[in-house]
Each structure stands twice: as structure tokens, then as C-alpha cells.
Amino acid sequence: MRCLLVMVYLLLAGRGAVAEEGKDEEPSIEKLVEYLDAQVRAADAAGYIWPKLDDPKWKAIELSNEQVIEALGQRLHDSTWTDGFMNNALLSRLSHHLDLSEATDAQIDAILRHVLGLKPRPQARSRRVDKTQAYMDTVRFDREFDSALKEVERINAPSLAYRDKLSKLLPQGRAARLNFIIDDLNGRYVAGVAKGIAIAKVEDRLGEELRAFLETDEATRNMVEHYRARIQNIAKPRVVDTGYKYEGGKAVVAKGSVGLSEEKRDELLKLLDPKPSLLD
């Protein structure tokens, strides 16, 4: 049955490319959305969460800079998560020549307002176990929680990838870039989906952006204090559920911590210590 679904997926994914062969159509956002929607539906029919975009037609799509900027600032699909996938797919495919420095402040604001939120991590609940098989029940509960967590991670994958790309493409020197990186870092912590190396990269990116900010004329006393306050308000470490563990003959909810560590917060704040020129 699985093989049959995969064959259906491949047939549906390729049908659009075959149907369009030989036509010399001007690329448009509408055609792009049509194509991506068909790919998402085909992947769903085959049991995948997101499609793999690796056929020649997709790789051949080219849009103007203005078209991409316009698309990133608007809703492309009724489904929030599919919309997020489309935005990431668009940015992934065309970021090699996308120049957001050509975007107006209004267009940048529209793009940032449109960034997809993150689905929060699941919560575990207290569960009773059969005393005769408490250990095995605990293992089963932990696997179920891990499966639910992986589902959230797969759903969030397009949005997280999009955020990573966008933070690098936003024009340097504009407050929008620094503000977005702070919002992104906080959003990952609030949703509880911050993970190891990925979150460390966002923290490092914020440090780099703060250093760049201090070299601009925007780094006035008031703006430095503004960003100090923003960093102080990034989510502090809090306890979250990480699964289940066998303890005392029963299944106990395991706990972990998610949030900006005090050590990292102090390191970021240290970057904003007043320059002599701001103390005058």
C-alpha cells in the first residue's frame, strides 16, 4: 500500500511538468502557487508532511526581484502551514539572487508581518501505569511523546528554515534586521522548540548584529537602552516536558529547560555597554 501511495505521489508531482511542457509561459506568482499547491496535495496523499522539490520544472522557475518581494509579503495559501512552506520554498529557490535592499520599508514590514509563527512543543501529562508492566508502559509513553515532538518539529521545519534565510537576507543597517533576529530568538524559546546547535547559531547571529549596530549612527544612547531592554525581555529559562522516565515503579514526566541562559544574556548585554562617546 505504501509503495502504491509513493507511486501516486510521483505521478501527481510530475503530471504538472508534463502538461506544461512545450509551453512558453511567463513565470508568475499565481503559477508558482498552483504548482506548489499540487506538490503539497500529492505529498499529503502519499503520507508525507512536506514534498521534496527536486524536479526540473521547479528548478527552472525564475521570478523577478520585485515579484519575490511582493510574494513574501502576502498570503499565498489559505492553510497557514502550507503558506509557510510556500514562503520557505520560494526563498530557498530564489535567494541566490534576491536583493531585499531594493524593498521599501513598507515592503519589509509586510514581509516581517507575514513570517509564520511556530507550533509549540507538546506537553506530557500524568499517566497511570499497570504495576505489572510499569517499565514497558513508561517506554511506550515516552515513544508516543517523542513521536508528537517530532511531528511538531516537522511542521515547524519550513518556518525555522525560512527564518534562518530571511535573517541573512534582510538589509544590514536597517533596524528591521536586528529586531527580527531578537523576535525570532524569543519566538523559538517561547514555543519551546529551541534546539542545541540551531538556537546557538541564532544567539551568535544576534551578537554579530549587535556589534554591527554599534558601528552605525543609529547607536544613540536611547537606542542602546532600547535594545538592552529588548534583550532583558527575551524568554528566560523555564521548565518544559521532555518525555517520560521510569522512577519509583511508575511513569514520571521528565523535565528540561528552555530559554536564554543568564550567562548568554549577560554576554549579549555586555556588548551594549555604553561607548565613551555615548556617555558625553
Q: What is the pLDDT of residues 158-172, one digit of tens each?
A: 889 899 999 989 987
pLDDT in tens, 5-29: 444 344 444 444 434 443 445 567 8
Radius of gyration of the chain (CA): 23
CA-CA distance, 161 to 89, in Å (whole number)? Answer: 10
Asked if pLDDT for residue 133 goes beyond 60, the answer is yes
Sign of CA dihedral 72, 73, 77, 79: positive
Cell reading at 69:
518581494
**Between these two residues, 236 and 196, which has the higher pLDDT value?**
236
Sign of CA dihedral 208, 176, 238, 236: positive
CA-CA distance, 152 to 155, in Å (whole number)? Answer: 5
203-225 average pLDDT score: 91
**Between these two residues, 166 and 132, which has the higher pLDDT value?**
166
Report pLDDT for 278: 52
Cell reading at 277:
562617546
CA-angle at 87, arms to 82 and 92, nearest 5°? 120
* Terminal-residue alpha carbon distance, the chain: 74
The domain locations on the chain are 1-116, 126-280
Report pLDDT for 187: 95
Report pLDDT for 279: 47
Report pLDDT for 155: 86
CA-CA distance, 253 to 196, in Å (whole number)? Answer: 21
pLDDT in tens, 30-75: 888 888 888 888 888 887 777 877 777 777 777 888 888 988 998 8
Q: Where are the beta strands (DSSP E) in the chain?
A: 238-247, 250-258
pLDDT in tens, 234-259: 999 999 999 999 998 889 999 999 99
Mean pLDDT of the chain: 83
Report pLDDT for 12: 44
Residue 3's pLDDT band (boundaries 50, 70, 90)? very low
Report pLDDT for 10: 43
Asked if pLDDT for residue 121 goes beyond 70, the answer is yes
CA-CA distance, 150 to 137, in Å (whole number)? Answer: 20
The per-residue DSSP string of 9-60 comes to HHHHHHHHHHHHTT--PPP-HHHHHHHHHHHHHHHHHTT-SS----SHHHHH
